[in-house]
Structure 1
Amino acid sequence: MLRVDLTVALERTFALRSFRPGQREACEATLAGRDCLVVMPTGSGKSLCYQLPALLSDDLTIVVSPLVALMQDQIDALIARGVGDRVALVNAQQDPDANARVLERAVAGELRLLYVAPERFSSPGFAERLRDARLGAFVVDEAHCVSQWGHDFRPDYFRLADAARYLGVRSIMASTATATPRVATDVVRRLGLSAPLRVTTGFDRPNISFAVVRAAAHEKRALLVEALRDEEALPAIVYAGTRAGSEELAAHLTEELGEEALAYHAGLDRGVRASAQRRFLADQARVIVATNAFGMGVDKPNVRTVVHATVPASLEAYYQEAGRAGRDGRPARALLLAEDRDKALHVHFIKRDELEERAPARFVKRLAEASDEHGRYSLDAASLARELGLLVDGVRALVGH
């Protein structure tokens, strides 16, 4: 184990005089080569738990993150700390030659932190090339994405346990702000964490004032305008349930507030979405009305209000979205507008999820029925998805299960 005074290293590298709860324990475990599960609230310093050990080590730490924006934010912060020459990212938006040069630097031992997207491990030759580097920790950021019980499950995360084993890393760290006990247990199992240190510091965000208001559909617009009319309520994020709803509410708020409200959803052109996000982050527009597509990768410390015009699909999703308020530590507000029909809608989704719980057994049975005498089978993913009542991504996840 590397012998180092962590408090001295913390001040020298990050200009911080003391660790927040859980950080020192996670750093010590990683430096000792022990697997670790870190569950900390948004804004509590999860990234430091792997960044500091990586910068103190001679090995390369791989950080798997779902969005380029998340990776770039962390790299920009490290550049500001004067250690930008030891960190880099590989992603599909970069020129292939630039990605190749980054891998060359990683193999040559010039980097301490390499950020990659989970789908990168499906690229031919990527893991093989990375295997030539001197590897330390393998970090899975937003680790709830690996769990089928998580609110933001992603099939690409299924391959990460195999990737870590193939690379022969010293340890694995799973990091998330939103993991119920069930999700945490599933993450440990799916990533193959061995006797991990579990660092859980709670979910309390004392600077956020939470409120739930029961309102009929026709009352919500007036309540929204009232909630956002005060200058101290801005900047604000409003979560709408549908794409059409986000555009309608944005137009209504623009008219009523006399201030431009931007719409954001996955159906908009990529350039339009990027422009909306950029303007909101720069305070050029102070209200954005979005679906849950406006999620991970949004790091705006001074959001004063988050309003949900509809009830989210899960408590974890609500916590993460509401938690975008008050990341600067100042007082903020999270307002949930609920109506009676929300319950019926979510009961429907719960019943659908119960069907999906039985999907693996039905999937295996269907494969057995379709296989020939040699155990081979040929099935169309879209047709199988319809038959099982799943999305195509769900079928792909079962294939990788």
Structure 2
Amino acid sequence: MVVNQVFEFSGYREKQYESIMSFINKKNTLVILPTGSGKTLCWVVPALISEGLTVVFTPLKALIDDQIRELINIRIPCAGLYTSTNHPSNYQEKVFGEIAAGFLRVLFVTPEKFHKNPAFRSMLMRISQIRSIRFVIDEVHCIVEQEYFRKAWNNLGTLKQLFPLSHLMMLTATCSTNEARKIQLIMNIEVGDLNIIRGSSFVRSEITFEVQTKSSKEKTINEICEQIQKIENEYCIIYCASPASCEEILELIRTKLDISLDIYHGKLESITRHQSITRWKAGLTQVMVATNAFGLGINMSNVRLVIHYTFPLSLGKYFYYSLKFKYNNY
């Protein structure tokens, strides 16, 4: 079995096998499983044992780089393309050549790459005429959440029109019934042509929740600092509603605590965001002050404290960002 030989796992986790078989059998599949349940395996196994190319849409460049390193470590040929100009001038042509030759099994891209690059779309369409292409959309809830902010996500709805013979796997850690229906509508998947696979339980008994009443800003910051001091050498994320709020809270905490702090929000330059994520994953940042853009694909098991300085726009978003980490949420 691939799961034993490549990944050295003893068996499948809940709903992994059902998801894998659904995708292998060319069914459009929506997989809703909690963070840490192994959603990546659900598409990697079909990519390994099936012919053709698997194109994976991922929301952030930093996540593409991480996923490429992980697959290369287990000797799966893959590459990544995004709208950034950081690639050498001939890099895209090199990737196109490797795809045409059948060398690459997995290609990671951002939705913006697909949306803004006609040459890339044309290349995929030409490839689809000679070999099969399947598509994976990671963090698919972004299609709903980013509907008015990142139009490239909505443009993924053209996949079924441009590639009628290709099938989709869509992955998320949380998705309500209404959101699933909206995703199906945006993606132009016909009624009855979507296999929804959902985990039996999203209960996380190790997480505790606490709601505290805000008073003055000074007192609230002091309370946040007290909570941070309690976790000692473990990690904390503070979510704020806007980039301006992130900047303000970062500076207020910095005046009170001598700890490693960093910031992440959409108005930062791409290279700055990438550096923030890199430092965080390397364990160099203890406290990250961020908007909810930081939650996409950021999974760390040693996050002890998650603080929402401003309540998220919906309970669904609060649920999503709470389940990505462990222990205490405030």
Classify the TM-score, shorter chain.
Answer: 0.7 to 0.9
Pairs within 5 Å for 1:151-230: 154-194=150-190, 195-201=193-199, 202-218=201-217, 219-230=219-230
Amino acid at match of 1:144: H
* Contact 1:36 1:173 survives alignment (8 Å): yes
* TM superposition shift of 1:162: 1.9
Match of residue 246 from structure 1: 246
* Contact 1:57 1:112 survives alignment (8 Å): no
C-alpha RMSD of matched pairs (Å) = 2.3
Inter-CA distance 159–245: structure 2 relative to 1 (3 Å threshold) = closer
Deviations 1:155-207 (A, max 9, x none): 21222232343234431112111211111111112213342221011433333
* TM superposition shift of 1:288: 1.6
Match of residue 348 from structure 1: none
Q: Any gaps of 5 or more consecutive residues in structure 1?
A: 1-7, 327-331, 336-401
Match of residue 135 from structure 2: 138
Q: Secondary structure at the match of 1:184?
A: helix
Deviations 1:2-26 (A, max 9, x none): xxxxxx2111121111111111001
Inter-CA distance 271–61: structure 2 relative to 1 (3 Å threshold) = closer
Q: Secondary structure at the match of 2:56?
A: strand
* Contact 2:23 2:46 survives alignment (8 Å): yes
Inter-CA distance 102–268: structure 2 relative to 1 (3 Å threshold) = closer
Deviations 1:27-64 (A, max 9, x none): 00111111111111122111111111111111211112
Match of residue 106 from structure 1: 99
Relative to the length of structure 2, the TM-score reads 0.88
Match of residue 235 from structure 1: 235
* Contact 1:138 1:169 survives alignment (8 Å): no
In 2, Cα distance between the equivalents of 1:204 and 1:231? Answer: 23
Inter-CA distance 69–204: structure 2 relative to 1 (3 Å threshold) = farther
Matched, 1:34 2:20: no
* TM superposition shift of 1:124: 2.0
* Contact 2:146 2:153 survives alignment (8 Å): no
Inter-CA distance 175–96: structure 2 relative to 1 (3 Å threshold) = farther
In 2, Cα distance between the equivalents of 1:11 and 1:63? Answer: 23
Pairs within 5 Å for 1:353-368: none
Amino acid at match of 2:226: E
* Contact 1:172 1:193 survives alignment (8 Å): no
In 2, Cα distance between the equivalents of 1:321 and 1:62? Answer: 26
Structure with the bigger percentage of helix = 1
Bigger Rg, structure 1 or 2: 1
Amino acid at match of 1:20: R
Inter-CA distance 187–11: structure 2 relative to 1 (3 Å threshold) = same
Pairs within 5 Å for 1:252-331: 252-326=252-326
Match of residue 91 from structure 1: 82
In 2, Cα distance between the equivalents of 1:185 and 1:65? Answer: 21
In 1, Cα distance between the equivalents of 2:78 and 2:73? Answer: 12
Deviations 1:255-283 (A, max 9, x none): 33322322333344544444333322222
Q: Secondary structure at the match of 1:256?
A: coil
Q: Any gaps of 5 or more consecutive residues in structure 2?
A: none
* TM superposition shift of 1:245: 2.9
> Which shifted more, 270-279 or 250-259?
270-279
Inter-CA distance 301–232: structure 2 relative to 1 (3 Å threshold) = same
Would you identify which runs of 4 or more consecutive aligned residues in structure 1 move more than 6 Å? 149-153
* TM superposition shift of 1:238: 0.9
Inter-CA distance 278–71: structure 2 relative to 1 (3 Å threshold) = closer
Bigger relative contact order, structure 1 or 2 (CA pairs below 8 A, ≥6 apart): 2
In 2, Cα distance between the equivalents of 1:106 and 1:248? Answer: 46
Amino acid at match of 1:91: Y
Relative to the length of structure 1, the TM-score reads 0.73
In 1, Cα distance between the equivalents of 2:215 and 2:280? Answer: 29
Q: Secondary structure at the match of 2:295?
A: coil
- Between the two proteins, what is the percent identity of the paired residues? 30
Deviations 1:124-179 (A, max 9, x none): 222221123212421122212223x6788632122223234323443111211121
